[in-house]
Amino acid sequence: MSKPKPLIPVWRIRLAWAVALTIDAIQIPAEAAGPVGWFVGAGLDCVALGTLWALVGFHWAFLPSFLTEWIPYLNMAPIWTAAVALATRGRSAPALEVTPGKPE
């Protein structure tokens, strides 16, 4: 029997999505800028891996994303966004319902 995936708070999932989308939005035009853009993208990959790992936890989708980002012109696709989509699929914790005026 497989171990159930731990649930992640919704705010962490949203923040992971924001980080992944931002990194991909910066990397795609930076890659077209040439070698300097590639070094900027490589630094962003290290930041992305560490940040997403801290927010979502370890997931196998992050490792191929990190490695393929180091291949020039392959990171013209939103790979970090796809990795976050795989890592957070079905793992959101249910939001707590709070009723105003009702003691808990």
Q: 94 in a domain, yes or no?
A: no
Range of the structural domain that residue 69 is part of: 10-88
> pLDDT for 47-95, tens place per residue?
988 999 999 888 888 888 777 766 766 767 788 888 899 888 877 666 6
Q: What is the residue-averaged pLDDT of the chain?
A: 80
Q: 5 in a domain, yes or no?
A: no
Q: 31 in a domain, yes or no?
A: yes
Q: 93 in a domain, yes or no?
A: no
Q: 52 in a domain, yes or no?
A: yes
Full 3-state SS string of 9-74: CHHHHHHHHHHHHHHHHHHHHHHHCCHHHHHHHHHHHHHHHHHHHHHHCCCCCHHHHHHHHCCCCH
Q: 1 in a domain, yes or no?
A: no
Q: Look at the chain and report how many structural domains it folds into.
A: 1
Q: 98 in a domain, yes or no?
A: no
Instruction: Determine phi and psi for 92, rounding to 5 degrees.
Output: -80, 135
Q: What is the pLDDT of residue 15?
A: 95
Q: 78 in a domain, yes or no?
A: yes
